[in-house]
Protein backbone atom coordinates (compact mmCIF):
# COMPACT_ATOMS: atom_id res chain seq x y z
CA UNK A 1 0.00 0.00 0.00
CA UNK A 2 1.35 3.43 -0.91
CA UNK A 3 2.45 5.61 2.01
CA UNK A 4 0.57 8.91 1.67
CA UNK A 5 1.69 10.17 5.07
CA UNK A 6 4.00 13.18 4.99
CA UNK A 7 7.31 13.23 6.84
CA UNK A 8 7.51 16.54 8.73
CA UNK A 9 10.90 17.66 10.03
CA UNK A 10 12.18 20.76 11.81
CA UNK A 11 15.77 21.79 11.12
CA UNK A 12 17.82 24.38 12.96
CA UNK A 13 21.52 25.17 13.02
CA UNK A 14 23.64 28.04 11.91
CA UNK A 15 25.48 31.25 12.48
CA UNK A 16 28.42 29.75 10.57
CA UNK A 17 28.81 27.30 7.72
CA UNK A 18 30.11 24.72 10.20
CA UNK A 19 26.63 24.47 11.71
CA UNK A 20 24.65 25.10 8.53
CA UNK A 21 26.26 22.74 6.00
CA UNK A 22 25.77 19.48 7.97
CA UNK A 23 22.07 20.36 8.26
CA UNK A 24 21.94 21.08 4.53
CA UNK A 25 23.61 17.74 3.71
CA UNK A 26 20.94 15.86 5.66
CA UNK A 27 18.17 18.01 4.19
CA UNK A 28 19.24 17.10 0.67
CA UNK A 29 19.43 13.42 1.54
CA UNK A 30 15.87 13.45 2.87
CA UNK A 31 14.67 15.35 -0.18
CA UNK A 32 16.22 12.75 -2.49
CA UNK A 33 14.76 9.80 -0.62
CA UNK A 34 11.34 11.00 0.58
CA UNK A 35 8.73 12.41 -1.79
CA UNK A 36 6.21 13.34 0.90
CA UNK A 37 8.49 15.69 2.82
CA UNK A 38 7.71 18.96 4.62
CA UNK A 39 10.54 21.01 6.14
CA UNK A 40 10.71 24.11 8.27
CA UNK A 41 14.06 25.70 9.11
CA UNK A 42 14.71 28.11 11.98
CA UNK A 43 17.54 30.44 10.94
CA UNK A 44 19.71 33.01 12.66
CA UNK A 45 18.71 36.48 11.51
CA UNK A 46 21.36 37.96 9.22
CA UNK A 47 23.62 34.91 9.06
CA UNK A 48 24.61 32.37 6.42
CA UNK A 49 21.52 30.15 6.65
CA UNK A 50 19.10 33.06 6.23
CA UNK A 51 21.02 34.32 3.19
CA UNK A 52 21.48 30.92 1.51
CA UNK A 53 18.60 28.60 2.36
CA UNK A 54 16.20 29.95 -0.27
CA UNK A 55 18.58 29.00 -3.09
CA UNK A 56 20.15 25.93 -1.41
CA UNK A 57 16.82 24.34 -0.49
CA UNK A 58 13.84 26.39 -1.72
CA UNK A 59 11.31 23.78 -0.55
CA UNK A 60 11.95 24.62 3.11
CA UNK A 61 9.76 27.12 4.94
CA UNK A 62 12.16 29.43 6.80
CA UNK A 63 11.60 31.39 10.01
CA UNK A 64 14.24 33.74 11.41
CA UNK A 65 15.01 34.18 15.10
CA UNK A 66 16.65 37.11 16.91
CA UNK A 67 18.49 35.06 19.55
CA UNK A 68 22.13 36.06 20.06
CA UNK A 69 24.92 34.26 21.90
CA UNK A 70 25.76 35.25 25.46
CA UNK A 71 28.53 37.78 26.01
CA UNK A 72 31.63 36.94 28.05
CA UNK A 73 31.92 37.20 30.99
CA UNK A 74 28.55 35.60 31.66
CA UNK A 75 27.47 38.39 34.05
CA UNK A 76 27.72 41.01 31.28
CA UNK A 77 24.59 43.25 31.56
CA UNK A 78 23.81 42.70 27.86
CA UNK A 79 22.97 39.09 28.68
CA UNK A 80 19.77 40.13 30.49
CA UNK A 81 18.35 41.43 27.19
CA UNK A 82 19.62 38.36 25.36
CA UNK A 83 17.96 35.98 27.79
CA UNK A 84 14.64 37.77 27.23
CA UNK A 85 15.18 37.33 23.46
CA UNK A 86 15.61 33.57 24.01
CA UNK A 87 12.31 33.42 25.92
CA UNK A 88 10.54 35.47 23.24
CA UNK A 89 11.89 33.25 20.45
CA UNK A 90 10.95 30.11 22.40
CA UNK A 91 7.32 31.25 22.44
CA UNK A 92 7.47 32.11 18.74
CA UNK A 93 8.82 28.64 17.89
CA UNK A 94 6.19 26.91 20.05
CA UNK A 95 3.37 28.56 18.11
CA UNK A 96 4.90 27.52 14.79
CA UNK A 97 5.56 23.89 15.69
CA UNK A 98 2.10 23.48 17.24
CA UNK A 99 0.65 24.22 13.81
CA UNK A 100 3.30 22.25 11.90
CA UNK A 101 3.20 19.18 14.19
CA UNK A 102 6.59 17.71 13.15
CA UNK A 103 7.64 14.08 13.49
CA UNK A 104 11.04 15.10 14.84
CA UNK A 105 13.68 17.84 14.70
CA UNK A 106 17.38 17.85 13.84
CA UNK A 107 19.55 20.58 15.39
CA UNK A 108 23.18 21.17 14.39
CA UNK A 109 24.38 23.74 16.89
CA UNK A 110 24.73 27.49 17.20
CA UNK A 111 22.95 29.67 19.75
CA UNK A 112 19.83 29.77 17.54
CA UNK A 113 19.13 26.15 18.51
CA UNK A 114 18.52 26.99 22.20
CA UNK A 115 15.00 28.49 21.87
CA UNK A 116 14.14 25.83 19.29
CA UNK A 117 15.26 23.01 21.57
CA UNK A 118 13.37 24.50 24.51
CA UNK A 119 10.20 24.89 22.44
CA UNK A 120 10.44 21.31 21.15
CA UNK A 121 10.86 20.06 24.71
CA UNK A 122 7.78 21.99 25.89
CA UNK A 123 5.75 20.58 22.99
CA UNK A 124 7.10 17.04 23.55
CA UNK A 125 8.55 16.79 20.03
CA UNK A 126 11.60 14.48 19.88
CA UNK A 127 14.78 16.10 18.64
CA UNK A 128 18.29 15.02 17.73
CA UNK A 129 21.52 16.97 18.03
CA UNK A 130 24.64 16.89 15.90
CA UNK A 131 28.00 18.09 17.26
CA UNK A 132 30.69 18.81 14.69
CA UNK A 133 33.65 19.57 16.98
CA UNK A 134 35.75 17.49 19.34
CA UNK A 135 34.65 19.78 22.19
CA UNK A 136 30.89 20.15 22.49
CA UNK A 137 29.53 23.67 22.00
CA UNK A 138 27.64 25.50 24.73
CA UNK A 139 24.24 25.20 23.01
CA UNK A 140 24.57 21.46 22.45
CA UNK A 141 25.84 20.94 26.01
CA UNK A 142 22.76 22.69 27.33
CA UNK A 143 20.32 20.82 25.07
CA UNK A 144 21.84 17.33 25.47
CA UNK A 145 19.68 16.55 28.51
CA UNK A 146 16.51 17.16 26.45
CA UNK A 147 17.64 15.48 23.21
CA UNK A 148 16.67 11.95 22.20
CA UNK A 149 20.13 11.22 20.76
CA UNK A 150 23.31 13.18 20.12
CA UNK A 151 25.38 12.46 17.01
CA UNK A 152 29.07 13.31 17.41
CA UNK A 153 32.03 13.54 15.06
CA UNK A 154 34.87 12.53 17.40
CA UNK A 155 35.29 9.66 19.86
CA UNK A 156 36.29 12.06 22.64
CA UNK A 157 32.82 13.65 22.45
CA UNK A 158 31.05 10.41 23.45
CA UNK A 159 30.13 11.91 26.82
CA UNK A 160 27.10 9.77 27.72
CA UNK A 161 24.87 6.92 26.57
CA UNK A 162 22.85 9.24 24.28
CA UNK A 163 25.88 9.89 22.07
CA UNK A 164 26.45 8.04 18.79
CA UNK A 165 29.65 8.37 16.75
CA UNK A 166 28.41 9.31 13.28
CA UNK A 167 31.06 11.57 11.85
CA UNK A 168 30.22 14.85 10.17
CA UNK A 169 27.81 14.92 7.18
CA UNK A 170 29.31 16.68 4.17
CA UNK A 171 27.77 18.02 1.00
CA UNK A 172 28.62 15.87 -2.01
CA UNK A 173 28.13 16.23 -5.78
CA UNK A 174 25.34 14.08 -7.19
CA UNK A 175 27.15 13.76 -10.50
CA UNK A 176 30.60 12.78 -11.74
CA UNK A 177 33.05 15.69 -11.95
CA UNK A 178 36.31 16.10 -13.85
CA UNK A 179 39.07 18.72 -13.76
CA UNK A 180 37.15 20.50 -16.52
CA UNK A 181 34.90 21.84 -13.75
CA UNK A 182 37.75 24.13 -12.67
CA UNK A 183 37.46 26.06 -15.95
CA UNK A 184 34.28 27.66 -14.56
CA UNK A 185 36.58 29.51 -12.17
CA UNK A 186 39.24 30.64 -14.64
CA UNK A 187 41.57 27.64 -14.36
CA UNK A 188 42.48 26.76 -17.95
CA UNK A 189 45.76 24.89 -17.52
CA UNK A 190 44.56 21.72 -15.84
CA UNK A 191 48.07 20.26 -15.63
CA UNK A 192 49.11 22.88 -13.08
CA UNK A 193 48.50 22.54 -9.36
CA UNK A 194 45.18 24.08 -8.27
CA UNK A 195 44.76 25.19 -4.66
CA UNK A 196 41.51 26.39 -3.11
CA UNK A 197 41.89 29.17 -0.50
CA UNK A 198 39.10 30.20 1.85
CA UNK A 199 38.61 31.50 5.37
CA UNK A 200 35.30 29.87 6.22
CA UNK A 201 31.80 31.31 5.94
CA UNK A 202 32.87 34.48 7.77
CA UNK A 203 35.93 35.01 5.51
CA UNK A 204 39.37 35.93 6.90
CA UNK A 205 41.54 39.01 6.50
CA UNK A 206 44.46 37.16 8.12
CA UNK A 207 44.43 34.47 5.43
CA UNK A 208 44.12 37.19 2.77
CA UNK A 209 47.24 38.91 4.12
CA UNK A 210 49.22 35.67 4.36
CA UNK A 211 48.28 34.53 0.86
CA UNK A 212 49.10 37.94 -0.65
CA UNK A 213 52.69 37.32 0.47
CA UNK A 214 52.56 33.79 -0.94
CA UNK A 215 51.30 35.04 -4.30
CA UNK A 216 54.21 37.49 -4.56
CA UNK A 217 56.53 34.47 -4.66
CA UNK A 218 54.54 31.56 -6.08
CA UNK A 219 53.65 32.02 -9.75
CA UNK A 220 53.62 28.30 -10.64
CA UNK A 221 50.38 27.37 -8.87
CA UNK A 222 46.80 28.25 -9.80
CA UNK A 223 44.69 29.53 -6.92
CA UNK A 224 40.94 29.90 -6.45
CA UNK A 225 40.62 32.36 -3.56
CA UNK A 226 37.39 33.23 -1.71
CA UNK A 227 37.74 36.76 -0.34
CA UNK A 228 35.75 39.85 0.58
CA UNK A 229 38.55 41.96 -0.94
CA UNK A 230 39.11 40.71 -4.53
CA UNK A 231 40.76 43.94 -5.71
CA UNK A 232 43.69 43.20 -3.41
CA UNK A 233 44.73 40.31 -5.66
CA UNK A 234 43.94 41.74 -9.11
CA UNK A 235 47.59 41.92 -10.19
CA UNK A 236 48.16 38.17 -9.79
CA UNK A 237 47.33 36.33 -13.03
CA UNK A 238 47.39 32.92 -11.34
CA UNK A 239 44.92 33.96 -8.60
CA UNK A 240 41.20 33.79 -9.37
CA UNK A 241 39.11 35.57 -6.73
CA UNK A 242 35.44 35.20 -5.80
CA UNK A 243 33.54 36.76 -2.92
CA UNK A 244 31.44 33.62 -2.50
CA UNK A 245 31.03 30.22 -4.18
CA UNK A 246 27.98 28.28 -3.11
CA UNK A 247 29.13 24.85 -4.30
CA UNK A 248 32.63 25.03 -2.84
CA UNK A 249 32.57 21.30 -2.18
CA UNK A 250 32.49 20.62 -5.93
CA UNK A 251 35.81 22.43 -6.31
CA UNK A 252 37.17 20.39 -3.40
CA UNK A 253 36.20 17.24 -5.28
CA UNK A 254 38.58 17.99 -8.17
CA UNK A 255 41.25 20.46 -6.94
CA UNK A 256 44.60 19.37 -5.47
CA UNK A 257 44.67 20.96 -2.03
CA UNK A 258 43.39 23.71 0.23
CA UNK A 259 44.61 26.57 2.42
CA UNK A 260 41.94 27.28 5.00
CA UNK A 261 40.78 27.49 8.61
CA UNK A 262 40.15 24.31 10.61
CA UNK A 263 36.44 24.22 11.36
CA UNK A 264 35.08 20.73 11.90
CA UNK A 265 33.00 20.66 8.72
CA UNK A 266 36.00 21.78 6.68
CA UNK A 267 38.08 19.00 8.27
CA UNK A 268 35.39 16.46 7.36
CA UNK A 269 35.35 17.69 3.74
CA UNK A 270 39.15 17.52 3.49
CA UNK A 271 39.04 13.89 4.62
CA UNK A 272 36.07 13.00 2.42
CA UNK A 273 37.70 14.42 -0.72
CA UNK A 274 41.18 13.13 0.22
CA UNK A 275 42.92 16.50 0.01
CA UNK A 276 46.18 17.84 1.42
CA UNK A 277 45.63 20.96 3.52
CA UNK A 278 47.57 23.90 4.91
CA UNK A 279 45.50 24.65 8.00
CA UNK A 280 45.55 28.06 9.70
CA UNK A 281 43.30 27.63 12.77
CA UNK A 282 41.19 30.57 13.91
CA UNK A 283 42.25 31.49 17.43
CA UNK A 284 38.84 32.96 18.24
CA UNK A 285 37.10 29.57 18.05
CA UNK A 286 35.44 28.41 21.28
CA UNK A 287 37.66 26.20 23.47
CA UNK A 288 40.40 26.57 20.82
CA UNK A 289 38.65 23.74 18.96
CA UNK A 290 40.03 24.69 15.53
CA UNK A 291 43.61 24.13 16.68
CA UNK A 292 42.64 20.73 18.10
CA UNK A 293 40.80 19.87 14.87
CA UNK A 294 43.90 20.83 12.86
CA UNK A 295 46.23 18.70 14.99
CA UNK A 296 43.96 15.68 14.53
CA UNK A 297 44.26 16.03 10.74
CA UNK A 298 48.02 16.60 10.93
CA UNK A 299 48.39 13.33 12.87
CA UNK A 300 46.69 11.55 9.97
CA UNK A 301 49.31 12.96 7.59
CA UNK A 302 46.75 15.05 5.70
CA UNK A 303 47.79 18.54 6.80
CA UNK A 304 50.38 20.98 8.03
CA UNK A 305 49.33 23.44 10.73
CA UNK A 306 50.37 27.11 10.60
CA UNK A 307 50.05 30.01 13.05
CA UNK A 308 48.48 33.10 11.45
CA UNK A 309 50.27 35.37 13.94
CA UNK A 310 53.71 33.86 13.31
CA UNK A 311 53.59 32.40 9.84
CA UNK A 312 56.57 30.54 8.38
CA UNK A 313 56.08 31.69 4.80
CA UNK A 314 58.84 29.52 3.31
CA UNK A 315 57.42 26.41 4.98
CA UNK A 316 53.91 27.26 3.73
CA UNK A 317 55.06 27.77 0.12
CA UNK A 318 57.14 24.58 0.22
CA UNK A 319 54.16 22.64 1.55
CA UNK A 320 51.87 23.99 -1.18
CA UNK A 321 54.43 23.08 -3.84
CA UNK A 322 54.72 19.54 -2.42
CA UNK A 323 51.02 18.81 -2.97
CA UNK A 324 50.55 16.18 -5.64
CA UNK A 325 48.80 17.32 -8.83
CA UNK A 326 45.84 15.24 -9.96
CA UNK A 327 45.87 13.86 -13.48
CA UNK A 328 44.20 16.02 -16.12
CA UNK A 329 41.88 13.03 -16.66
CA UNK A 330 40.97 12.74 -12.97
CA UNK A 331 37.31 12.03 -12.34
CA UNK A 332 35.39 12.34 -9.09
CA UNK A 333 32.77 9.61 -8.79
CA UNK A 334 29.93 10.08 -6.24
CA UNK A 335 30.58 7.94 -3.19
CA UNK A 336 28.98 6.70 -0.02
CA UNK A 337 28.36 9.32 2.71
CA UNK A 338 28.65 7.16 5.84
CA UNK A 339 27.83 9.88 8.38
CA UNK A 340 24.40 10.50 6.86
CA UNK A 341 23.64 6.78 6.75
CA UNK A 342 24.48 6.36 10.46
CA UNK A 343 22.29 9.33 11.39
CA UNK A 344 19.32 8.17 9.30
CA UNK A 345 19.55 4.63 10.70
CA UNK A 346 19.40 5.95 14.27
CA UNK A 347 16.44 8.31 13.96
CA UNK A 348 13.53 6.26 15.28
CA UNK A 349 10.83 8.45 13.70
CA UNK A 350 12.26 7.74 10.23
CA UNK A 351 12.11 4.00 10.93
CA UNK A 352 8.46 4.37 11.98
CA UNK A 353 7.68 6.39 8.86
CA UNK A 354 9.34 3.77 6.64
CA UNK A 355 7.20 1.05 8.24
CA UNK A 356 3.95 3.03 8.07
Q: How confident is the model at residue 78 (pLDDT cuts 50, 70, 90)?
A: confident
Q: Please say if the pLDDT value at position 185 is more than 90.
A: yes
Q: Please say if the pLDDT value at position 2 is more than 60.
A: no
* Residue 45 DSSP code: T
Burial class (CB in 10 A: 0-12, 13-18, 19+), 95: exposed
Regarding whether 247 and 342 lie in a shared domain, the answer is no
Regarding whether 342 and 287 lie in a shared domain, the answer is no
Check if the beta carbon of residue 203 is closer than 8 Å to that of residue 227: yes
Q: Is 355 annotated as a binding residue?
A: no
Does the global pTM surpass 0.95? no
> What does the pLDDT look like over 137-155, one tens digit per residue?
889 999 999 999 999 998 8
Provide CB contacts within 8 A for 287, sequence distance 6+: 133, 135
Q: CA 109, CA 129: separation in Å to the nearest integer?
A: 7
pLDDT of residue 71: 66
Q: Is 171 annotated as a binding residue?
A: yes
Q: Is 201 annotated as a binding residue?
A: yes
Is 201 among the domain residues? yes
Q: Is 18 annotated as a binding residue?
A: yes
How many domains does the structure of the chain reveal?
Answer: 2
Regarding whether 320 and 344 lie in a shared domain, the answer is no
Helix 338-345 to helix 17-33 angle (10° resolution) is 70
Check if the beta carbon of residue 304 is closer than 8 Å to that of residue 298: yes
Pairing mode of beta strands 163-165, 149-152:
parallel
Is 119 among the domain residues? yes
Check if the beta carbon of residue 52 is closer than 8 Å to that of residue 20: yes
> What does the pLDDT look like over 276-319, one tens digit per residue?
999 999 987 777 889 988 998 999 999 999 998 999 999 999 99
Owning domain of residue 11: 7-169+337-354
Q: CA 260, CA 277: separation in Å to the nearest integer?
A: 7
Q: Is 290 annotated as a binding residue?
A: yes
CATH code, domain carrying 25: 3.40.50.2000
For 141-166, give one letter per residue: b (16+ CB within 10 A) or e. eebbeebbbbbbbbeebeeeebbbeb
Q: Is 16 annotated as a binding residue?
A: yes
Regarding whether 185 and 151 lie in a shared domain, the answer is no
Is 109 among the domain residues? yes
Regarding whether 128 and 238 lie in a shared domain, the answer is no
Regarding whether 38 and 142 lie in a shared domain, the answer is yes
Regarding whether 117 and 22 lie in a shared domain, the answer is yes
Amino acid sequence: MKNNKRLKVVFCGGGTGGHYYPALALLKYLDTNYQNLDIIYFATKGRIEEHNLAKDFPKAKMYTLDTKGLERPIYNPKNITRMFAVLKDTQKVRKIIKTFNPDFAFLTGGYVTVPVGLALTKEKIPFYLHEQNSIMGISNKFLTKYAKKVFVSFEETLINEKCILSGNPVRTPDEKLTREYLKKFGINNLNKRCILVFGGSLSSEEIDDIMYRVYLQDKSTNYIHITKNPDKFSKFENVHTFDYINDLYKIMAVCDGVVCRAGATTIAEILFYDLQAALIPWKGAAENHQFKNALSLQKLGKAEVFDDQNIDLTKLINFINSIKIKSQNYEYVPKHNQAIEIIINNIEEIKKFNNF
